[in-house]
Structure 1
Amino acid sequence: MSRNKAIFLLSAGHACVDVYQGSVAALVPFFAAERAYGYAAVSGIVLAASLLSSVAQPLFGALTDRWAMPWLLPSATLLGGLGIGLGGLVDSYALTLVFVAVSGIGVAAYHPEAARVARIAGDGRHTAMGWFSLGGNVGFAAAPVLVAAVMALGGLRMSPLLVVPALAGSVLCLPVLRALAKTARAGGSSADVAGVDDWRSFARLSMAVVFRSIVFVGLSTFVSLYARQRVSGGTATGSAALFLLYLGGAAGTLLGSRLAGRRDRVTVVRRSYLATIGAVAGVVFVPGPAFFPFVLLAAVGLYIPFSLQITLSQDYLPTRVGTASGVTLGLTVSIGGLASPVIGAIADHTSLRTALTPLIALPFLCWITTRSLSEPCSVQTGTPPAEKVSISRE
């Protein structure tokens, strides 16, 4: 199988999984409308999707450093879909939290192993990781459209239809996994990973990921509700704002890969965070239709560093790629989910604008955290010998 085809299939499968990360936020207005949940209650649903994931994703990453577990790709995809599908079906708030948490575990199990496989398929190139990450952005962007279409058929009781992307995603990854298994049985050669783990730089990068996570998940949780206040629209207005947020993420991921081809990754990451400060301020304070362009710009700025941070983390920890992927991808959603109930509680007691205002400062903290980072030396000479896999070039 060619590398391009493998990356395309992995990217498409990634889209099918990240539909369920985006679906949690996309379902927030419908939970609020049909079940009269307040800001704190809907924040709890986002928290449920993130809490176990914050622990599980780095754990799965550490496990994949010791044993290759490609079977996680299809099984975790199905688990993510089932959790969301059942979460909208039950009336109990407690059961809703349980099923959404199950979906979060599925998403957590998927990402470290998928990032490891994508690194093999792309030969460690940040452009390949960019295309893989783009699939996740497309899934996020498709989520509000898919959720709105399903909800239009009959509200939350139709949520089992949201399992369909999981079925598709579990099938899309199978050809790549078969190709990996085939080359492994054929004794595909590979060179050892060289280099020393730079835990200090990895920790600094992880802090930036935490701050970025709080901003993005905070916006994705509340932007649909906030858009209705700023633009005086209905649920369609909220869905449009959320779609723009995720669409901007996709554009930012592609732009980040292109910019990193001209400048080093660390420089691109730092400058994108500086540019994001003004965009987030616009989201919080600009009223009327001008609110929407700032949503798009904020998403672009937050996602330019996304795939670059994944490859940077893997290069900082060349002997622990699964751990690096699990922490970087896990913190992207999980820590932000942990902060969402705090934002919701502040909004319940003051206003949503007051609760979102602190998000403006966090991209500046990202910039400060990444100022001392340097581009890692080339550390990878091939795929780890335990994997013994290869995918042919075009």
Structure 2
Amino acid sequence: MTTDKAHRADVPPADALPAGVAAAPVSAWRRMRMWGAAHAVDDLYQGLVPACVPYFVLDRGYSYVAASGLTLAAALGSSVPQPFIGLAVDRYRLPRLAPAGLAVAGVGLGLSGLVRPYAAVWLLILLSGLGVAMFHPAAGKAARQAAGDSASAMSIFAAGGSVGFFLAPVLATPALVAMGVGATALFIPPAVLMAVVLLRHRPAAAPARRAGRTGRDRWRPFLFLTGIEVVRSVAFFGAITFIELFWIRHLHSGRGVAGVALACFLIGGVAGTLLGGRIADRVGMVRTVQLGGVAAVPALIALRVTPGTLPPLVFAVLAGLALNVPFAVLVKLGQDYLPGRPGTAAGVTLGLAVSIGGLIAPALGAAAQAYGPQGVFTILCAIPVLALFLGLFLTEPEPSPGG
């Protein structure tokens, strides 16, 4: 009787939840907040790379291609190792991998602005990307165990990453304006402190009954899902890499307004990630992914063609929102397609597929070199159409046995 009462007290009342939403226990929501905060700190360092790119261009005279190479370094470091790290996470516990990855990500990025040779900057950013690769599979698996079948709960973890991207320009722009790229050193302490927090207060593993779905792995829809995440990532990374330069060079704004534009895009990303989880709990995950593809095209077109420096800010928010509506859903859906390999699925959807967007950055840099940042945004308007097409091949996940 005591156990039953404790279980009921741990779960929100059914009538407090929207129809179709899976109830997540209160303890699960606490664990999700812990992992969401850690994800925010981790992705702060991914967000700092595009936030710093304009200052490497303006302060050190890097070309567009060289600056895009820094995004490439971060993407290489985080993308290539992640599937292998995901396999290791599924096979072994590796409880300290997530905090170790946080520390490596912060130290690598933090030191990058203190060295002068381009090769040294590139290698440090590559190291930072490796730290991100160490964090995502382990944290993604633990977060899924805490979230259970609730897309809304999983969206807290995913939104943590969007918050980190948002905080990067908000925190970095004033420091970079005042101190130059050497200000990156100021961002070493958050990673070290959060790593210590995870080591000391690492959330307990979820009970076996909440550990996730069981059933056969379905690789075909997972591959289509991975393609959608790659396309979404190309559009997202292209936007955050060149949106400030688009405002400065094409819309002729000051650096401050350009920083606001990036912040607006990332605010929309946070909102879209959280909104996507709630929409998925109501209408289904596949429909939510397709909705994001439909909404992204007009939002990006409006951002590209709207004149002035302030009115396009509205469409920066909407574009960020539309591109991120599918984000948490893709992470959860990927783990549902591969119920026996949650770490591998997280490594691909949170890591490899996302990072490929950074691998495409040099090609977008070449387009910017030839046609200006506005040329990049013209290209980005068409990219979500491919995600919409791939979304037609997705299917809802199979129900859990007994559930």
TM-score (norm 1): 0.91
2:195 pairs with one of 170, 174, 177: 170
1:52 counterpart = 2:77 = yes
2:373 pairs with one of 346, 352, 361: 352
The CA distance in 2 between the partners of 1:178 and 1:292, in whole Å, is 39
The CA distance in 1 between the partners of 2:240 and 2:355, in whole Å, is 13
Counting only pairs closer than 5 Å after superposition, residues 129-140 of structure 1 correspond to structure 2 as: 129-140=154-165
Cα deviation digits, residues 151-206 of structure 1 (max 9, x gap): 244222232111122023213323552633xx8xxxx6548953111100000111
Partner of 2:16: none
1:312 counterpart = 2:312 = no
2:318 pairs with one of 297, 301, 311: 297
TM-score (norm 2): 0.89
Partner of 1:222: 242
Report deviation, 1:380: 6.9
Partner of 1:326: 347
1:3 counterpart = 2:28 = yes
Q: Relative to structure 1, is the Cα distance of residues 125 and 87 closer, same or farther in structure 2, using a 3 angstrom cutoff?
A: same
The CA distance in 2 between the partners of 1:60 and 1:124, in whole Å, is 24
The CA distance in 1 between the partners of 2:242 and 2:208, in whole Å, is 49
Q: Relative to structure 1, is the Cα distance of residues 372 and 159 closer, same or farther in structure 2, using a 3 angstrom cutoff?
A: closer
Partner of 2:142: 117
**Aligned partners of 2:80 and 2:352 also within 8 Å:** no
1:97 counterpart = 2:118 = no
Q: Relative to structure 1, is the Cα distance of residues 85 and 195 closer, same or farther in structure 2, using a 3 angstrom cutoff?
A: same
Partner of 1:337: 358
Report the 3-state secondary structure (helix = DSSP H, G, I; strand = E; otherwise coil) of the residue aligned with 2:283: coil
Partner of 1:391: none
**Aligned partners of 2:75 and 2:358 also within 8 Å:** yes
Report the 3-state secondary structure (helix = DSSP H, G, I; strand = E; otherwise coil) of the residue aligned with 1:2: helix
2:186 pairs with one of 161, 166, 187: 161
Report deviation, 1:135: 1.0
**Aligned partners of 1:313 and 1:324 also within 8 Å:** yes
The CA distance in 2 between the partners of 1:357 and 1:324, in whole Å, is 32
Cα deviation digits, residues 116-169 of structure 1 (max 9, x gap): 000112224212110111111111100001112332442222321111220232
**Aligned partners of 2:34 and 2:203 also within 8 Å:** no
1:69 pairs with one of 65, 69, 94: 94
Amino acid at match of 1:377: E
1:27 counterpart = 2:47 = no
The CA distance in 1 between the partners of 2:368 and 2:185, in whole Å, is 31
Query: Where does the alignment leave 5 or more consecutive residues of structure 1 unmatched?
Result: 383-394
**Aligned partners of 1:10 and 1:172 also within 8 Å:** no
The CA distance in 2 between the partners of 1:290 and 1:76, in whole Å, is 40
Moved more, 160-169 or 170-179: 170-179
Partner of 1:389: none
**Aligned partners of 1:12 and 1:172 also within 8 Å:** no
The CA distance in 2 between the partners of 1:18 and 1:219, in whole Å, is 16
Q: Relative to structure 1, is the Cα distance of residues 380 and 89 closer, same or farther in structure 2, using a 3 angstrom cutoff?
A: farther
Partner of 1:85: 110
Amino acid at match of 2:143: A
Cα deviation digits, residues 95-130 of structure 1 (max 9, x gap): 000000000010111001101000112224212110
Report the 3-state secondary structure (helix = DSSP H, G, I; strand = E; otherwise coil) of the residue aligned with 1:233: coil
Report the 3-state secondary structure (helix = DSSP H, G, I; strand = E; otherwise coil) of the residue aligned with 1:69: coil
Partner of 2:278: 258
Report deviation, 1:49: 0.4
The CA distance in 2 between the partners of 1:203 and 1:97, in whole Å, is 31
Report the 3-state secondary structure (helix = DSSP H, G, I; strand = E; otherwise coil) of the residue aligned with 1:28: helix
The CA distance in 1 between the partners of 2:250 and 2:141, in whole Å, is 42
**Aligned partners of 1:223 and 1:241 also within 8 Å:** yes
**Aligned partners of 2:212 and 2:339 also within 8 Å:** no
Query: Where does the alignment leave 5 or more consecutive residues of structure 2 unmatched?
Result: 1-25
Partner of 2:392: 371
**Aligned partners of 2:144 and 2:212 also within 8 Å:** no
1:126 counterpart = 2:151 = yes
